[in-house]
Amino acid sequence: MIAGQTSETGRTGRVLAAEARVVIVGAGHAGGTAAALLRQYGFAGPITLVGEEPLPPYQRPPLSKAWLKGEADADALALRPDSYYAEQAIALRLGARVEAMDLAGRTVTLQGGERLAYDRLILATGARARRIPLPGLELPGVHELRTAADAEALKQALGRGRRLAVIGGGYIGLEAAASARALDAEAVVIEREPRLLARVACAALSNFFQDYHAARGVAFVLGADVQAIVGEGRAEGVRLADGRILSCDAVLVGVGAVPNQELAQAAGLACEGGIRVDLRARTSDPHVHAIGDCTRRPLPLYGQAHRLESVPNALEQAKQAAADLCGRPEPAPEVPWFWSDQYDLKLQIAGLPFDVAQTIVRGEPTTARFAVFHLDPEHRVQAVEAVNAAPEFMAGRLLIGNRKPVAPEKLRDMSVSMKEVAA
């Protein structure tokens, strides 16, 4: 069958012909997983995985955690052993940036001018660290944390007695601050909002994390208006609007991420704060799928579209794209989830707190084992944020998926097991 024609399965014409050329742009968590799944689902045709970074697909979560603390090496980061790609006949093109796409001609153009033809394209270009217009950003000693190279540079700047200033009190900033403390470096977190994690977690969680970090020596300046990074030839301090200068040896700017959608946008694909896709990871072009951090995807549980930045989402969408290309049934949508590790804390979050009428704290935050449940007006769990509370996370995730209402008084009562709450 020729790519694009109706398949014998009678599906929509997107099922891959055996000889179809698949090109994946972005050799990150999503792109690497999609390549592997295509093989796992039986596709034997040519797959080319093009990545701008010099490394085969690797995991980013350890970059701010175990890897920054020196507890993981490059092998531990790798998604799969280096030999895997040759064994599976997946052609890796590393250090290769795709600069343009031609949807009509079905080609992508690499930096340097080489063109790759495709029958099916998967865009997995991820996201990049958000840059804010700030005087002094260009000084040596100013870091961002998205890639292994970023993490290596930051690691070099940490160590006993060094002072790290983190601009942005989100997950990456807090994880980096915890890692800095583990290395006996000092850390100050500077946040514009009046609380940490303001965009991504509830107030109870913000307060808990602030106290936990403060007790371990992290300093905070909240509601701060950062005016500039200052220093003679390198970053030596962060100047605030009130005139204070917070001295430091290095600055990490961790103020969120933006989707790498420009390539898709320039080619004419529908984008809206991420490349728009459906639940099969299909874009507005019938020959192009998109997956991972670069997409804006439907969340049927909430009747909304959203851009998610998480490993579980990258894996789910890789599965959607590979299943679609191989003519398999559409995978059932998963409940979105995410985790963060800081010190001895394992934070697990499932769902999204849309349409919340009631918030219930189960357990006592001072014990560092508790969960916050967000319920809609019908007492259905919309989201759960669990700190060192795996049973609450697991049951919460299940309840988010099955939409069964819960009894708030049982949920609040630690003497009632989560099994009973969910029954």
Q: Which long-range contacts (CB under 8 A, 24 or more apart) does 44-47 make?
A: 44/18, 45/16, 45/17, 45/18, 45/19, 45/20, 45/21, 46/19, 46/21, 46/22, 46/89, 46/91, 47/22, 47/23, 47/89, 47/90, 47/91
Minimal distance, residue 231 CB to ligand FAD, in Å: 24
Give the one residue of 51, 169, 173, 274 binding ligand FAD; rule: CB under 6 A.
Answer: 51
Minimum distance, C-beta of residue 55 to ligand FAD, in the bound complex (Å): 8
- Mask 57-96, x = binds ligand FAD (CB under 6 A)? ---xx-xx--------------------------------
Q: Which one, 206 or 342, has the nearer CB to ligand FAD?
A: 342
Q: Would you say 314 or 360 has its CB closer to ligand FAD? A: 314
Question: Binding residue for ligand FAD (CB under 6 A) from 172, 188, 301, 383?
Answer: 172
Closer residue to ligand FAD in complex, CB, 12/111? 111
Give me the 345-374 binding string for ligand FAD, x by CB under 6 A, dash otherwise.
Answer: ------------------------------
| Binders of ligand FAD in range 371-410 (CB under 6 A) | none
- Which residues are 372's β-sheet partners? 361, 385
The residue among 54 and 405 lying less far from ligand FAD, judged by its C-beta, is 54
| Cβ 68 to ligand FAD shortest distance, Å | 8
Contact between 200 and ligand FAD per CB under 6 A:
no
Buried b (16+ CB within 10 A) or exposed e, 361-391: bbbebeebbbbbbbbbeeebbbbbbbbbbee
The encoded tokens of residue 355 equal 């349409």
Q: How many residues bind ligand FAD, per CB under 6 A?
A: 36
Listing from the earlier edge strand, what are the strands of the sheet with 337-342? 337-342, 345-351, 381-387, 369-375, 358-364
Binding characters for ligand FAD, 294-323, by CB under 6 A (x = yes): ---------------xxxx-x---------
Beta strands at 107-110 and 98-102: parallel, antiparallel or unpaired: antiparallel
CB of 236 to ligand FAD, least distance (A): 25
Give the nearer residue to ligand FAD in terms of CB position, either 26 or 353.
26
CB of 368 to ligand FAD, least distance (A): 18
Stretch that binds ligand FAD, among 3-11, 52-60, 206-214, 269-277 (CB under 6 A): 52-60
Distances (CA, A) of 221 to 239, 335, 343: 12, 34, 20
Q: Which of 3, 25, 251, 321 binds ligand FAD (CB under 6 A)?
A: 25
CA distance 392 to 364: 13
Helix (H) or strand (E) holding 120: strand 120-123
In the chain, what's the furthest Cα-to-Cα distance?
A: 70
| DSSP characters over 159-175 | STT-EEEEE--SHHHHH
Shortest Å, Cβ 325 to ligand FAD: 17
Verify binding: residue 145, ligand FAD, rule CB under 6 A: yes
> Among residue numbers 244 through 263, which ones bind ligand FAD (CB under 6 A)?
260, 263
Give the nearer residue to ligand FAD in terms of CB position, either 236 or 316.
316
Q: With the C-alpha atoms ordered 303, 308, 310, 314, is the resulting torsion angle positive or negative?
A: positive
* 186 binds ligand FAD, rule: CB under 6 A: no
Q: Which of 236, 293, 324, 385 binds ligand FAD (CB under 6 A)?
A: 293
> Is the torsion defined by CA of 409, 364, 206, 58 positive or negative?
negative
Q: What residue ranges in 254-394 does DSSP mark as E strands?
A: 257-259, 275-276, 288-290, 295-299, 304-306, 337-342, 345-351, 358-364, 369-375, 381-387
Shortest CA distance to 187 belongs to which of 137, 225, 125, 143?
143
For ligand FAD, the binding residues (CB under 6 A) are: 25-31, 50-53, 60-61, 63-64, 97-98, 124-127, 145-146, 172, 260, 263, 292-293, 309-312, 314, 338-340
